[in-house]
Amino acid sequence: MKLATKLLLLLLSCPFAAIAQDENVDTAMIARIREQGLHHSQADTIAHYLTDISGPRLTNSPGYRHAVSWCVSTMKKWGLSNVAAEPWGEFGTSWEIQKCYVAMSAPYYHQLIAYPWGWSAGTKGPLSATVVAIPDGDSSAAVKAGASLKGKIVMLTDTFTSIRSAFKPYAIRFNDSDLANLKQQFWATYDEMHPYAAVEAAHKRFLKLLESKGVAAIVTKDYGGRDGSVYADQIDAFERSAHPSVPRIMVSTEDFLRMQRLIGSHVPVKLDVDIRTRFDYSDTKASNVVAEIPGTDPKLKDELVIIGGHLDSWYSGTGATDNAAGCTVMMEVMRILKTLNVQPRRTIRVVLWGGEEQGLYGSYNYVKNHFGDPVTKVVKPGQEKVSAYYNLDNGSGKVRGIFLQENEAVRLIFEKWMAPFTDLDATAVKSGNTGFTDHYTFDIVGIPAFEFIQDPLEYLTRTHHSNMDVYDHLSIPDLQQASTVIASFVYHTAMRDEKLPRKPMPKPEPWLFEGF
Ligand SMILES: [Zn+2]
């Protein structure tokens, strides 16, 4: 069935006009939320503690655990209820970088911008070795080089050989026509993503082949970074016993291309490497952070409005835009509503997720534990009790609207709730959906789940998963705006007579939860 036909059928079956007319908008409460969110915001402090003070927050790393305990103690101080780190099950090894020095020592000295891959081995002390170039994925070249690779640092080259000048700005905001034409953000289909798994498996086999040749380290190029940004989000495995034995190092595109040109001109290149990484197997279970403002209506207080973002990050920056930004906003939403002493009819719950970056593990397991199995679609009684889940995970940009996640029945409700924020540039209520982040695990078990549309700023051009994803690349005024708009959405969802209307249970994306 075409989407247009589906929408027509929905239109015929839902009394939208009645919903829109009756929809209550509490303008007095919105004024109070705006005052607290825009003029008494604590977004800068929250973001500072999540990023600068906690450090990188790779799931189960010391930085992640620091952030978990800071969020728990802070939300307790604010007077929120049922605040806890809630375990969701097995994740894997705790890992962190304790030292990373990578420099070219021949033909001359040059310090590289470099990071080990996630869960990479260290070097067991300083290492100095000649660099050999092998085309990435070329097993026959590796087999042919054979014993000559022993003790060498292998750099994996590809066809990418130059960077063009950046004529476009890194950061953008949506203009009116961008918003009007926006269909989806960061969404990929099964057909686009599934072949990638096979490519990845073949690549892992190739890297194992190199390890079997006794190489000292493997150097890879950053995938798409430039101007010193390194998108350090490569991993092999985080399960205990599956870690690679040879250090894998990602270097900036510029550093990589220089070495590639030198070797191409038959100039010998040597690297000095000293990497220390720490593996800790003592606690392989992971937690999300949960806190609530209890509902007060005797009939509705068992129902939930849930909000969240992911607390875990990659490790070369401090995960500021991905996703301390989302956690800052969602914590600030709770602070605003608690400070205003709202008495919501339904319970408002925030959950800050772990394990998102490796595959939505925190939210997947939370949904499975409380609401239903995302694979089998067998739901628990709690699934009926959730009115909505709202997520924020598209960087530091202000809220420009919301995607309906193919749930046309909420369009007129959301349009009414968005209307008071036109002056703050939040206007769009768009069909379509967005991915891949934690609202998806709710959506897939039939709970109305939504991701807000945000200005991109420099999320995909500069910060997403990179060493530049640090506090300085946050836009605090944007986070204040987002907290204000979302606090109002959450409040109105909690006060509404009815839960939000639901769409039919979506079909599973079979590849997404493979291996869970
Ligand atoms: Zn994210």
Tens of pLDDT along 233-285?
Answer: 988 877 766 788 899 999 999 999 999 999 999 999 999 999 999 999 999 99
Instruction: Judge if pTM exceeds 0.85.
Output: yes
Portion of the chain with pLDDT greater than 70, in percent: 91
Residue-wise pLDDT tens digits, 49-106 = 999 999 999 999 999 999 999 999 999 999 999 999 999 999 999 999 999 999 999 9
Q: Quick one: pLDDT at residue 236?
A: 80
153 pLDDT above the threshold of 70: yes
Ligand 1 ion local residues (Cβ < 5 A): 322-323, 393
| Alpha carbons within 13 A on the beta-carbon side of 113 | 22
Query: What is the pLDDT, as a whole number, of residue 184?
Result: 72
pLDDT for 514 equals 55
CA 17 – ligand 1 centroid, Å: 36
Q: How far is the CA of 310 from the centre of ligand 1 (A)?
A: 6
**pLDDT band with cut points at 50, 70 and 90 for residue 509:** low
Is residue 481 over pLDDT 50? yes
CA of 213 to the centre of ligand 1 (A): 36
pLDDT for the residue numbered 486: 98
Output phi, psi for 91, to 5 deg: -115, -70
Check pLDDT > 50 for residue 123. yes
Is 253 within 8 Å of 220 (Cβ atoms)? no
Task: Determine the distance separating the centroid of ligand 1 and the alpha carbon of 435, expressed in angstroms.
Answer: 10
Summarised one tens digit per residue, pLDDT across range 178-205 is 999 988 766 555 555 556 677 788 888 9
**C-alpha distances out from residue 128 to 106, 207, 360, Å:** 10, 21, 39
Structure-model confidence comparison of residues 188 and 4, the more confident one? 188
281 Cα to the center of ligand 1, angstroms: 25
Give 350 Cα–ligand 1 centroid separation in angstroms: 16
Distance (Å) from CA 345 to ligand 1 centroid:
31
Average pLDDT estimate for 400-407: 95
Distance 370 CA to ligand 1 centre (A): 23
- Would the pLDDT of 432 be above 60? yes
Q: Which of 8-22, 47-61, 103-117 has the lowest mean pLDDT?
A: 8-22
Distance from the alpha carbon of residue 119 to the mean position of ligand 1, in angstroms: 19
pLDDT at residue number 222 = 82
**Could you tell me the CA-to-CA distances from 410 to 6, 15, 333, 432 in Å, in that order?**
15, 11, 22, 13
pLDDT digits (tens, 9 = 90+) for 224-235: 789 999 999 988
Residue 203 carries which side chain, given as an amino acid letter?
H
Q: Which residue has the higher pLDDT, 367 or 510?
A: 367
Mean predicted confidence (pLDDT) in 396-422: 97
Given a cut of 50, is residue 9 above it in pLDDT? Answer: no
> What phi-psi label fits residue 410: left (phi over 0), alpha (psi between -120 and 50 degrees) or beta?
alpha
What's the 145 CA to ligand 1 centre distance in angstroms? 40
CA distance 15 to 66: 49
Decide which of 155 and 436 is more confident: 155
Residues 96, 66 contacting (CB under 8 angstroms): no
**Nearest-angstrom CA–CA distance, 119 and 115:** 11
